[in-house]
Amino acid sequence: MKLVPVLLLLSLSVQARDLQEVLRAVEQRYNKASTLEAQFEQRYLAQGRPRRAESGTLSLRKPGRMRWQYTQPSGKLFICDGKWIWFYSPAENRAERAPLKEADDFRAPLAFLLGRLDFRRTFGDFELRESGADSVIIALPKSDRLPYTRVEFQIAPDNSIRRLLVRGVDGADMEFLFTGERLNVPVSDSAFRFTPPAGAEIVDAAER
């Protein structure tokens, strides 16, 4: 009977150590990178609404810059230039902007790639699961005032982030699937500058 608590403690310590190893390996991979490019598929999953999927190319550069260039739908664009976040909708020919520090977009859980990745500083609690050869990190936010309640990171054997799922406070999910990730590739400064198309309406997000 005395072996049961001992075995339980050993099991918990192994699980905790495995979680720490996965967190550390992912942090080391991305903290050493200055740029990143990958193909993405973005899915919106909300109960009672049609499933919507979009796709394109993601480019990141430290510190504080990212570009989501959509090919489906063509022309849609999301840019962070380190100070401002821009979202351009070609269907409406309208560009919305917001200060980076005030943005509450669902991409916020991925913004850790723009600086120094520190899971423990960004999130409050964790759970580690296995999915085939991949590891799945379930991370909970530190505050209930954030626009999401749960974030799942699916980690490939090479410690790259293969999938990111963000659950919003309304219960809706936004899922990102990443393929073809390349680290430390040349990325032009111009990729992170937004020039509004002719005739585009410019709207401050705070005024909506």
Question: Which tens digits make up the pLDDT trace of 115-135?
Answer: 678 899 889 999 999 999 999
Banded model confidence at residue 48, pLDDT cuts 50, 70, 90: confident
Using DSSP's 3-state secondary structure scheme, residue 147 falls into coil
What value does the mean pLDDT take over residues 95-118?
A: 73
pLDDT confidence bin for 4, thresholds 50/70/90: very low
Q: CA–CA separation, 202 vs 33, rounded Å? A: 33
User: For residue 58, is pLDDT > 90?
Assistant: yes
**pTM, rounded to two decimals:** 0.84
Buried b (16+ CB within 10 A) or exposed e, 19-58: beebbeebbebbeebebbbbebebeeeeeeeeeeeeebeb
* Domain count for the chain: 1
Q: What is the pLDDT of residue 151?
A: 93
Amino acid at 196: P
Contacts of 24 (CB under 8 A, 6+ apart): none
Domain that holds residue 19: 3-207
In this predicted structure, the answer to whether residue 191 has a pLDDT above a threshold of 90 is: yes
What is the per-residue pLDDT for 92?
Answer: 94
For strands 94-99 and 84-89, give the pairing: antiparallel
Q: What is the DSSP letter of 105?
A: -
CATH number at 41 reads 2.50.20.10
> What does the alpha-carbon distance between residue 113 and residue 76 come to, in Å, rounded to a whole number?
22
pLDDT at 105: 55
Per-residue model confidence (pLDDT) at position 172: 92
- Provide the pLDDT for residue 25: 94
